[in-house]
Amino acid sequence: MAEIESSSNLSFILNKPFDVKFEQRPKPTLQSPRDVLVAINYTGICGSDVHYWVEGRIGDFIVENPMVLGHESSGTVVSVGSEVKSLKPGDRVAVEPGKPCRYCTPCLSGHYNLCNDMRFAATPPYDGTLTGFWASPDDFCYKLPEHVSLQEGALVEPLAVAVHIVKQAEIQPGQSVVVMGAGPVGLLCCAVAKAFGASKVVSVDIQPSRLEFAASFAATHTFTPERVKAEENAARLLKETGIEGGADAVIDASGAEPSIQTSIHVVRRGGVYVQGGMGKPDITFPIMALCTKEVTCKGSFRYGSGDYKLAVEFISDGKVDVKRLITGTVKFEDAEEAFKDVKAGKGIKVLIAGPNEKSCRCIGGH
């Protein structure tokens, strides 16, 4: 088992696109008696991290000052504030990296993911978790059961994203679900949909290798769209999967315009469509179909109350085998290589070991 050996707070920092550096930063201090200090063991990389590395911005969030990247982490508690009861030093945790204010209307009404003053790791101007140590409120660290590894712990974040999406989709037992995009989030949405009782889970992607994996991971059916009109792809999908009248729920985990258009034609009358993936901010959208079919379209943004907890449970009781998504683990000093690999579309999920991580095993790999 990996241990935290030193007190390095070496951090992986983005200056501007493609310009990264390693630098020691002051070790964070506990801001409140309910805070804990976590030594980061592993951090996964997601499309948004790569986007900042390539573009230096996402929408209105612009990297103006050097910023530590990373937000999908697991770690080990090293110290706890005086009023912390739920955790103790040595506990291994999944880290929920967004700190809401707790007082604004969204926070008070159960939507802290929409907090007006959210401080989210690696969303400018807030530093991320590709660093040695991370200070966190105790309720934003989730203890991992003994049999769950720290590498799996780094997958809790994207799994929580999938949990949140599937909850938005209101999936119920026996329903049919179509997921557009077989990247990590799409794959995890398939698995969570299945765990929520969906009887048909269709994974859609243009890459055959991804679909192959999806079928072995969680999908009951797969579908490869062609370069035809959205209505045509939709009709063929429903025919091939035997989903009559349209799918109960459709999730877009791709952000791609053709997928979103197809989704509205795939979903049944009165069904739910969830926009999880982020792509072009404005797209051509089949609004009349949405309107006359009385479809409910919901955005999904990060995760909220209960999502991390359920994600840990799904890993713990084997309902979602996140290990299979880990295709590589690299040492902290090789972080930039990991970003390059993800950008090149290699593998599914690559983990970067924390700077204090002693031993580093690649437990995935295809």
Partner 1 sequence: NETFVLHAKGQFLYADRPVPKLPSPRHVLIRVMATGLCGSDVRMSSYWQHGQIGQFVVRQPLVLGHESAGEVVDIGSGVTTVQRGDRVALEPGVPCQTCDYCRGGRYNLCAFMQFAATPPYDGTLSTYYTLPEDFCFILPPHISIEEGALVEPLSIAVHSVKLAGVTTGQSILVFGAGPIGLLCCAVAKALGASTVLLVDIEQSRLTFAHRYAATGTYRMEDKSLEENAVSIMANFRLSEGADVVIDATGAESCISCGVHALRRGGTFVQTGLGASNIVFPVGQICSKEGTYKGSFRYGPGNYKMAIELLNSKKVSVKELITHTHEFFRAEEAFEGVSRRQGIKSIIYGPGVQNVFVASSDTPTGNSIAKI
3-class DSSP assignment, residue 136 = strand
**Residue 295 token pair:** 């479809």
Distance from chain centroid for Cα 219:
18
d(CA 22, CA 42): 17
**Smallest distance from the beta carbon of 281 to partner 1, in angstroms?**
3
Q: Which is nearer to partner 1, 91 or 252 (CB)?
A: 252
**In terms of CB distance, is 298 or 346 closer to partner 1?**
298
Q: How many CA atoms lie within 13 A of 141 on its CB side?
A: 30
Q: Directed axis angle between helix 184-195 and helix 208-217, to 10°? A: 30
List the structure tokens of 88: 């103790």
Look at phi and psi of residue 105 and say left if phi exceeds 0, alpha if psi is from -120 to 50, else beta. Answer: alpha
Assess 297 for contact with partner 1 (CB under 8 A): yes
Amino acid at 37: L
Q: Considering the complex, what minimum distance in angstroms separates the CB of residue 333 from partner 1? A: 34
Torsion of CA 332, 124, 46, 274, to 10 degrees: 160
Told to check if 306 binds partner 1 by CB under 8 A, we report no
Segment near partner 1 (CB under 8 A); pick from 139-147, 278-286, 338-346, 350-358: 278-286
Interaction between residue 318 and partner 1 (CB under 8 A): no
Among the listed residues 278, 316, 321, 340, the single contact to partner 1 using CB under 8 A: 278
Among 269, 346, 358, 361, binds partner 1 (CB under 8 A): 269
The C-alpha atoms of residue 122 and residue 316 are separated, in whole angstroms, by 28
| 82 makes contact with partner 1 (CB under 8 A) | no
Per CB under 8 A, 294 contacts partner 1: yes
Give the integer Cα–Cα distance in Å for 277 and 273: 12
217 in Cβ contact with 191 (< 8 Å): yes
| CA–CA distance, 325 with 363 (Å, rounded to integer) | 10
- Tell me the C-alpha distance between 99 and 141, whole Å: 11
Taking the complex as a whole, how short is the minimal distance between the CB of residue 176 and partner 1, in angstroms? 13
x/- site string to partner 1, residues 41 to 60, per CB under 8 A? ------------------x-
Where in 166-195 is the site for partner 1 (CB under 8 A)? 168
Under the criterion CB under 8 A, does residue 106 sit at the interface with partner 1?
yes
**Identified binder of partner 1 from the candidate list 17, 33, 174, 270, rule CB under 8 A:** 270
Binder to partner 1 among 295, 322, 338, 350 (CB under 8 A)? 295
Contact letters for partner 1, residues 108-147 (x by CB under 8 A): -x-x-xx-x-------------------------------
Identify which of residues 12 and 273 has a Cβ nearer to partner 1 in the complex: 273
Euclidean distance between CA atoms 58 and 231, whole angstroms:
31
Q: Find the distance separating the first CA and the last CA of the chain, reported in whole Å.
A: 23
281 near partner 1, judged by CB under 8 A: yes
Stretch that binds partner 1, among 155-163, 299-307, 321-329, 332-340 (CB under 8 A): 299-307
* Comparison of 184 and 255: residue with beta carbon closer to partner 1: 255
Q: Which of 21, 88, 102, 298 binds partner 1 (CB under 8 A)?
A: 298
Q: Do 261 and 230 meet the contact criterion of CB atoms below 8 Å apart? A: yes
Task: Show the binding pattern over residues 223-262: x = contacts partner 1 (CB under 8 A), - = does not.
Answer: ----------------------x--------------xx-
SS3 (DSSP) at 125: coil
Other C-beta atoms closer than 10 Å to the C-beta of 91 total 18
Burial 305-339 (b: 16+ CB within 10 A, else e): eebbebbbebbeeeebebebbbbbbbebeebbebb
Kindly state the smallest distance separating residue 16's Cβ from partner 1, in Å. 23
Binding site for partner 1 (CB under 8 A): 59, 105-106, 109, 111, 113-114, 116, 168, 245, 260-261, 269-270, 275-301
